[in-house]
Amino acid sequence: MMFFIVVIICVIITLYILDNVLPHKYPTGPTRFPLIGNYLEIRKLRNKLGFYHLVWDHLAKCYGQVFSVKLGRLEVVVVSGYDAVRQVLCKDDFDGRPDGFFFRFRAFYKRLGIVFVDGPEWTEQKKFCMQHLRKKGFGGDLMEKLISEEVDDLILHLNKRYEVQNGKPIEVCGLFDVSVLNGLWTMLIGNRFALNDSRLAKLMKLVHASFRMLDMSGGILNQMPFVRFLAPKCSGYKDIKLILHEFYTFLKESVDEHRDKINDQEDFIGAFLMEIEKNRESPKSFSEEQLLVVLLDLFLAGSETTSSMLSFVILLLLKHQDVQTKAHAELDAVVGDREVQLEDRNKLNYLEAVLMEVQRHSNVAPLAIAHRSIRNTSIQEYIIPKDTLVLASIWSIHMDKQHWGDPEVFRPERFLDSSGNVINDSWFMPFGVGRRRCLGEVLAKTNLFMFIAKLLQHFEFKVPQGVQLPDKSQDGVTISPSAFSGIFIPRRDIN
């Protein structure tokens, strides 16, 4: 018995030493422990600070802007600061995506989709998706028309609620979910959902819940997959499995409904099904599973972040009535009584500055989607081995005190020069930079401008009497505002 105990102690000591003997010029970090790495320390800091990006900021102050941690058996390098982050995002050596249990679990235990793949498969899928989305209007006049119609439908809905409910407050979080998704979904399959679609509302609640359950590394399921056997509920495994089942059931029904349109290549799903037929002998790149995961990626990427960002805009306009007043005045002077169009964006400099400042200040995506080194490479003076997971803190750039002066202050004027023109600051990167920057950037920017410009034109946003607006947001893969409500008071009829 004593011999057995001694052996276990020796094994633990050996693992401890091996875990803390780092390769030459590899970034340092906090002390690692066998099997769990730095999990407990990071969990403790996360509970104390409330957000993972604040954990990375805290550790950066201790170990430098490039440091390492071990999450379970997962090697992770975290980078902060303008130079290091841009190097990661712009250097081809870091174009890989994470390849762990969670990322395969969500994709039928394979490497599928468009967000969490790399190499030739990513290039092929990106080319196909962009080609067929452009056919359906992505980035063009048709996209503007589709989004404008969604905003008009939402405005009609808000006006009716104001009349029927005598100006009662409206819960803002979740308000934009269906409207935002409709623009993308119409381009994908030619259909849109009603604002009161109960099934879609349920799915969007699942989207928000899943984003809150994880972090950018894939969470404990990716760091220590064995935990799912010990604690299927606490680890999130059981809930995520149910959420994925709900989504794939919904998406498969959408695919099955479009099988009769397989000869209609103008329909994204139809075009993909045609491609599957052409590639029957080599189904790896084009298969029904691949189609379902691509749709899941687009569904999630095209809805949650934009919906959260729109909610943040409303929240900050409620908090800063003076900013809202200036935006109203600019809209009245530049656009007047006619409907806002996307081309007005170039003339509405103050509104553009407001939207930029909301993105900088709220940091909906505080970390870029995780990168992976595809070969042995370097960051600054550090050597990074192949297959190291790299987390790049966009938050550290947007909240850099030396560059912004008062980053914690919401001040749209920081994006305007003395002549009132918009400043294109390279430190502003809400969609990332480089080859793997957000694919939906054009759609997200169009949504952001059209929704807010048209809503501001039609409504004045007021804080309900006696209501305290939230100061703390919700952490997860992305940041979202805590629940809040506002009163949408109609301004006037627009011709």
Annotated binding site: 438
> CA 444 to CA 438: how far, in whole Å?
9
Residue 6: how many other CB atoms lie within 10 Å: 10
DSSP letters, 289-324, are HHHHHHHHHHHHHTTHHHHHHHHHHHHHHHH-HHHH
**177-189 and 141-164 helices cross at what angle (nearest 10)?**
150
Residue 83 has phi, psi (to 5 degrees) of -65, -50
> CA 335 to CA 26: how far, in whole Å?
56
Q: Is 109 exposed, middle or buried (0-12, 13-18, 19+ CB in 10 A)?
A: exposed
Q: Is the sign of the CA dihedral 445, 447, 450, 451 positive or negative?
A: negative
Which tokens hold the place of 237?
């495994």
Q: Is the sign of the CA dihedral 41, 43, 46, 52 positive or negative?
A: positive
3-state secondary structure of 65: coil
> CA 286 to CA 268: how far, in whole Å?
13
* Residue-level length of the chain: 495
**How far is C-alpha 219 from the chain's CA centre?**
16
Helices (H) and strands (E) in the chain, counts: 20, 11
> CA 417 to CA 424: how far, in whole Å?
10
Q: Residues forming the annotated binding site for heme?
A: 438
Measured at the CA of 99, the angle between CA 96 and CA 100, to 5 degrees, comes to 155
DSSP assigned state of 420: S
Element (H, E) at 386: none
Which tokens hold the place of 300?
């999630």
Residue with tokens 């359950």: 213
Which tokens hold the place of 195?
């604002």
